[in-house]
Amino acid sequence: MKSSLSVLLRVCVVAVFLSPLYWIVVAALRKPGLPPPRTVEWLPAEWSVENFARVFTLVPMETYLRNSLLVGAVAVPLTLVFASISGYAIARLSPHLRAFFVVALILAQMLPLISLWLPRFFLVRYLGLLDQLAALGLPVLAGTLPLYVLLYYRSCLSIPAEVYEAAELDGGSFLRSWLRVALPLVKPTTMAVTAFSFLFYWGDYIWPLLLMKSQSNYTATVGVAQLLQLDKSNWPLMMSASLMLALPSILVFMMVQRTFLKGNLLSGTAGW
């Protein structure tokens, strides 16, 4: 009895947390041109997928989606390279230097990003990258987020020294042991960082808003927010655009959630 009650409670919690997604889908599939609903429509009064096509006629959504994909496709692999090399190198430093980097990364992760808006804007302007998609990939240098470097650091720390020292005794370099020894051992971390850095770049709203000026360089997040100014009360249209923006993020999350939510990946991170 008690266990069925707790399953019921779980179902309720699931329903509450999925409700935003549910209402996006219901509104997005509502036929365009109908008068707004007067009573709750648990399912659309009349179905249609026309709204999705209409988004593309109202704004150059294909350009926005392509820009977002491009940023993700370039920035995510670079993030993996920079974050894993950095994390692996930090794990092999002597203890006092290691502590220095870990503290620096934690502090950087804690900085409120609003304090970085203005100087970063001027930095991008100084580099001549204002209104260029390349500017959005700049964070890869620091592993996109200090957190990703810390994740790699934590998982590389558990690699025994003999393993990589043996690899380098045979005449291999640091980069060789990184590629051949470290990376294969930290695959779960790579999977998580891939997924989360994609979510970061795909969902990033503030940097494209601050740095991109011409419409041809907008990303999908900015494009979707822009719909509100173009057609303020066309809810089916805005919900279908939101769904297009949210679906890739949801799919990527669904692919990694099983491993990630079991806690295996993050275990051992308690000692930061």
Partner 1 sequence: MKLARRDRDLLAYLAPLCIGLFLLYIGPAFASLALAFTHYDALSAPRWAGLENFQALPTDAVFLKAIGNTFWFLGIALPLKLILACALAMWLHRPRPFTGPTRAAIFLPSVIPDPAFALVVLWIFNPLYGPLNLILQQLGIQAPMWLADPVAAPWVFVILSLFQIGELFVVLMVARMEISGELYENAQLSGAGMWRQFVHVTLPILAPWLFMLGARDMMMSFQSTFSFAQIMTQGDPYYATMFIGLMIYEEAFDRFRFGLGSAMMVVTFLMCVLVLGAVRLGMKRWRYQVEI
Contacting partner 1 within 227-246 (CB under 8 A):
227-228, 235, 238-239, 241-243, 245-246
Angle at CA of residue 14, ends 65 and 145, nearest 5°? 45
For the bound state, the minimum distance from the C-beta of residue 226 to partner 1, rounded and expressed in Å, comes to 9
Q: Rule CB under 8 A: which of 91-130 touch partner 1? A: 92-94, 97, 101, 104-105, 108-120, 122-123
Contact with partner 1 (CB under 8 A) among 1, 2, 33, 40? 40
Measured distance CA(257)–CA(272) in Å, rounded: 23
- Which one, 57 or 258, has the nearer CB to partner 1? 258
Binding to partner 1 by residue 71, rule CB under 8 A?
no
Q: What is the DSSP letter of 36?
A: P
Contact with partner 1 (CB under 8 A) among 29, 71, 80, 85? 85
Please give the torsion angle defined by the CA atoms of residues 57, 60, 64 and 66, in that order, rounded to the nearest 10 degrees: 90
- Which one, 25 or 185, has the nearer CB to partner 1? 25
Close Cβ partners of 255 (under 8 Å, ≥ 6 residues apart): 195
Close Cβ partners of 224 (under 8 Å, ≥ 6 residues apart): 64, 238, 241, 242, 244, 245
For the bound state, the minimum distance from the C-beta of residue 189 to partner 1, rounded and expressed in Å, comes to 14
Angle at CA of residue 141, ends 119 and 72, nearest 5°? 100
Q: Do residues 191 and 252 lie in contact, with contact meaning Cβ atoms separated by under 8 Å?
A: no
For the bound state, the minimum distance from the C-beta of residue 81 to partner 1, rounded and expressed in Å, comes to 9
For the bound state, the minimum distance from the C-beta of residue 246 to partner 1, rounded and expressed in Å, comes to 4
Contact with partner 1 (CB under 8 A) among 53, 166, 250, 255? 250
Site string for partner 1, 130-169 (x = CB under 8 A): --------xxxxxx--x--x--------------------
User: What are the phi and psi torsion angles at 35 (to 5°)?
Assistant: -65, 155
Count other C-beta atoms under 10 Å from residue 113's C-beta. 9
Number of residues binding to partner 1, judged by CB under 8 A:
95
- Which one, 170 or 270, has the nearer CB to partner 1? 270
Binding to partner 1 by residue 267, rule CB under 8 A?
yes
Count other C-beta atoms under 10 Å from residue 234's C-beta. 18
